[in-house]
A = this chain, B = another copy of it.
Amino acid sequence: MTTAETPSLKSYCLDVAERAHRASRQLSTLSTEVKNRWLLQSADALLQHEAEIQKTNTLDLQAAAGFGLTDAEVDRLRLTSDRIAAIAKGLREIAALPDPIGQVIEGFRRPNGLQIIKRRVPLGVVFFIYESRPNVTADAAAICVKSGNAVILRGGKEAAHSSAAIVEILNKTAAEVGLPADAVQLVSTADRDAVGHFLGMHELIDVTIPRGGESLIRRVASEATMPVIKHYDGNCHVYVDRDANLDQAVEIAVNSKCHRMGVCNACESLLVHRDVADTFLPQIAAALAQHDVEIVGDPQTCQRVPAASAATEADWSTEYLGPKISVRVVDDLESAIEHINRYGSHHTDAIVTKDLAASERFTDAIDSAAVMVNASTRFNDGGEFGLGAEIGISTDKFHARGPCGLTELTSYKYVVNGQGQVRS
């Protein structure tokens, strides 16, 4: 772990970024074998040092009340035996994934004999800002290093001790296997200005990935001088088409909304074709009532669902992240598409339909990272997509969209092999 021995905050940050930059140069050509050995030995070391990690974790748990954490938040902070085992398992899973670096994306020979290869390379240095769950520390470090990047970790202060203990183990293993010492650095100061300093260093840091509340992410996106992989929010929709299997629609809407309410790919808004509103709305209202989900709706919904209250214009843009949903009756497929593209956050939107043309039109016209047909919005996830690991979900169209795994942390270079060719 890096310590703040340098005179000022800014020079401390600069030193961290420069170390990361130098480490990234070495990492870019490091063999898969060394990276995997680091992952596997780190997994072993985490298990061996379980008792010490838990002891350190106690310091965070004791401090939690002072940070005003809720019981649920304190629980997420706790590193039980099972959770440490899960972290170790996560590292092993990342070791088992194919190394994206060196992969040839394309290769061809030009008429003049030049052989051109487009080869995957790391981005360089990742600045990762995240909230308090200490397991994310190990996970993010593993994903970044496996994809050949150095990482600067800025974790939540609530998990500071636990994250430091984990990074110490990762770094000790790094020294043993020959991974650059500064491949993984944890920012050791809680000073909020440190983030601002790092966000200005676009010549040393290649990408910033913020994870957390929308206000944090907006701050990072507006201050960052380098590219940012992010999503602000997840106002996800389920649209129940005229030709939907309504039983399936209930199941998909309930799963999308209720499977886990506090996450970005949970459904926040339900659109219902007017031709099925009479039948479907009472069904879904009853099903959502079982999960204590409050309904706000447009006048047509409120007419059919006595428990619903009137939605405001602001509701259509709101990500509730809890037991509340907005519901609107729409005239047709095109109105649904217009509503979603206007109010949604381009994250995940689903249609339930048996009509092939409706499905095709919806997937073509919806401008979102993932468009689901007859499936829950909850499937927009690196694990569910089979990426093996995920550092975030992007709603941007630039560079990476949707779940971001190892490949999304890479760039490419063109390698051109000639036999003396010059341009004429």
A contacts with B, residue count (CB < 8 A) = 63
Given the contacts A370-B414, A378-B423, A398 and B397 also touching, CB distance less than 8 Å: no
Work out how many copies of this chain go into the complex: 2
Q: Could you tell me which residues of chain A, from 376 to 405, have a CB within 8 Å of some CB in chain B? A: 376, 378-380, 384-386, 396-399, 401-402
Given the contacts A25-B341, A207-B398, A255-B423, A418 and B110 also touching, CB distance less than 8 Å: no
User: In the complex, what's the smallest C-beta–C-beta distance from A411 to chain B, in angstroms?
Assistant: 4
| A124 vs B108: C-alpha distance when bound (angstroms) | 29
| A68 vs B341: C-alpha distance when bound (angstroms) | 48
Q: Could you tell me which residues of chain A, from 210 to 256, have a CB within 8 Å of some CB in chain B? A: 222, 225, 227, 245, 248, 251-252, 254-256
Does any Cβ of B come within 8 Å of A365's Cβ? yes
| A298 vs B365: C-alpha distance when bound (angstroms) | 60
Given the contacts A29-B364, A227-B227, A384 and B415 also touching, CB distance less than 8 Å: no
User: In the complex, what's the smallest C-beta–C-beta distance from A13 to chain B, in angstroms?
Assistant: 20
Among A108, A110, A385, the one with the most B-chain Cβ atoms within 10 Å of its Cβ is A385
Does any Cβ of B come within 8 Å of A8's Cβ? no
Does any Cβ of B come within 8 Å of A343's Cβ? no
Given the contacts A123-B397, A370-B413, A375 and B248 also touching, CB distance less than 8 Å: no
Residues of B within 8 A of A419 (CB): 374-375
Residues of B within 8 A of A20 (CB): none
Classify the interface of chain A: helix, strand, loop or mixed. Answer: mixed
Does any Cβ of B come within 8 Å of A300's Cβ? no
Q: Is there contact, CB below 8 Å, between B411 and A372?
A: no
Given the contacts A369-B413, A373-B417, A423 and B384 also touching, CB distance less than 8 Å: yes
Q: Is there contact, CB below 8 Å, between A248 and B420?
A: yes
Q: Could you tell me which residues of chain A, from 158 to 217, have a CB within 8 Å of some CB in chain B? A: 206-207
Query: Can you offer 19 A-B residue contacts whose CB atoms are under 8 A?
Result: A29-B364, A110-B384, A116-B386, A121-B397, A222-B225, A251-B420, A255-B422, A370-B414, A371-B415, A371-B416, A375-B417, A375-B421, A376-B421, A376-B423, A380-B414, A384-B423, A398-B411, A402-B412, A402-B414
